[in-house]
Amino acid sequence: MRKHDMDPDEQHLLALHQELAQHCVRSVLYTHGIRPRLRIYCPDERPGCSFDNNVIAAALAGQWIFWWPWAEPIGPATELARTAATIIDELDLRDEGHRESDAPVTVPSLAVQRQRRQAQAGALHPQAR
């Protein structure tokens, strides 16, 4: 299938796939199912991560945006480098040489990491009562 034969969401996902590949992040574009998705593979994945590690592309108010599977936006399709960096950070896919510490960080799933971020945000910005 040539690029111009693809749906727009597939085209955007393919562009993100290519951007991630430049950072040595392995991903596969799946076109079966309800909508196309980009499956991102993480080293040392735990069972159950396969859902969390999917990205879709969908238009919102005329702008194409990449989304996590629970409908949280990642970034606009017009900003591939920034979106790829966000995915790499969220899934902790930085090269070993670029880690801030020597201790390996293993996140069992993106859902756990999201809960950790929400807890940290709550601790930093408690709501006034």
pTM value surpassing 0.75 = no
| HSE, side-chain direction, 13 A CA sphere, residue 50 | 4
Q: How far apart are CA 65 and CA 55, in angstroms?
A: 10
**24 and 13 in contact (C-beta within 8 Å)?**
no
Give me the amino acid identity at 95.
D
Give the three-state DSSP class for 67.
strand
Q: Considering only residues 1 and 84, tell me which one the structure prediction assigns the higher pLDDT.
A: 84
Segment 8-65, tens digit of pLDDT: 999 999 999 999 999 999 999 999 888 999 999 887 766 556 677 899 999 999 999 9
What pLDDT score does 52 carry?
78
Segment 80-116, tens digit of pLDDT: 999 999 999 988 887 644 444 443 444 445 555 565 5
What pLDDT score does 118 carry?
57
What pLDDT score does 116 carry?
56
Q: How far apart are CA 36 and CA 54, in angstroms?
A: 10
